[in-house]
Chain A
Amino acid sequence: MIEVIYFAWVRERIGEARESHETSAKTVRDLIEELKHKEERYAVAFSDLSAIRVAIDQDLVDMDSSIENAKEVAFFPPMTGG
């Protein structure tokens, strides 16, 4: 079981800030495929992966990173700080 967290418009499109998710996914990319099959709102939020950034346990990673030991996976748009 992992915690999946969403920020900014990813959160708005999915309609939740966080959820616990039972997964058999090995990588971030697999996890996204799993989520997209759950419901249409996930498919909408993840329709363009070039607009999605991901962090595992609060470190920025890429889509092919392993989630096998992850506690927390966060999805969000490119950051706009400063």
Chain B
Amino acid sequence: MKISVQAEPFDYGTLSNAFAQGHTHVGAVVTFCGIVRDDELGGLSTMEIEHYPGMTEKAINAHSQIAKNRFSLAEVLVIHRYGSLKPGEMIMMVATAAPHRNDAFQGAEFLMDYLKSRAPFWKKEIVNGEPRWVDAKPEDEDALSRW
């Protein structure tokens, strides 16, 4: 398992490629990346991501371990950024490797659902110069019930 909580950008292509190399019992790799999206027709200038150092790593580690056991994952990678990001920048990535593709897909979805509402990150958008905290969505909480 590799987990990184960082301010710096990451190279999705290089990391995905490295993640998919060097396995002989893995038949499937799934990678996902989340990107800062402007829903405000150009009004979103910045997304600021705050987190709880220490708890963030602990929560991601715990959920990655659960995912690894539950979906028989051979390997897990989670990177999540914090700090000030612009629209189009990558916020986070998840990669899973498993013998079979269904487990790799499900493991990645499970991790995404848990990162959304159980990892201590908070997003603040600056829209047309006005800061506002992003509210958690009920459907993100509901998404956990399927696991």
Whether a CB of chain A sits under 8 angstroms from the CB of B123 is yes
Contact A79 B55 (CB under 8 A): no
A-contact 0/1 string along B119-133, CB 8 Å cutoff: 111111000000001
Task: Given A7-B52, A9-B133, answer yes or no on A82-B122 (Cβ-Cβ < 8 Å).
Answer: no
A81 to B120, CA, bound (A): 7
Whether a CB of chain B sits under 8 angstroms from the CB of A4 is no
Q: Which of A7, A58, A59, A78 contacts B50 (CB 8 A)?
A: A7
Q: Which of B34, B92, B115, B124 contacts A8 (CB 8 A)?
A: B124
Whether a CB of chain A sits under 8 angstroms from the CB of B68 is no
| Chain A: number of interface residues, binned into ranges | 10 to 19
A7 to B50, CA, bound (A): 8
B-contact 0/1 string along A1-40, CB 8 Å cutoff: 0000101110000000000000000000000000000000
Task: Given A8-B124, A9-B133, answer yes or no on A81-B116 (Cβ-Cβ < 8 Å).
Answer: yes
| Chain B: number of interface residues, binned into ranges | 20 to 34
Which residues, 37 to 56 on A, are CB-close (under 8 Å) to B? Answer: 55
A61 to B80, CA, bound (A): 23
Whether a CB of chain B sits under 8 angstroms from the CB of A74 is yes
Whether a CB of chain A sits under 8 angstroms from the CB of B86 is no
Contact B120 A7 (CB under 8 A): yes
Nearest-Cβ distance from residue A40 to partner chain B, whole angstroms: 21
Q: Could you tell me which B residues sit within 8 Å of A by CB distance? A: 34, 50-52, 54-55, 58-59, 80, 91-92, 112, 115-124, 133-136, 141
Q: Could you tell me which A residues sit within 8 Å of B by CB distance? A: 5, 7-9, 55, 58-60, 74, 76-82
Known contacts A79-B116, A79-B136, A80-B135, then 12 further A-B pairs from the complex at CB < 8 Å, ordered by chain A residue: A7-B52, A7-B122, A8-B50, A60-B59, A76-B52, A78-B136, A78-B141, A80-B116, A80-B122, A80-B136, A81-B51, A81-B92
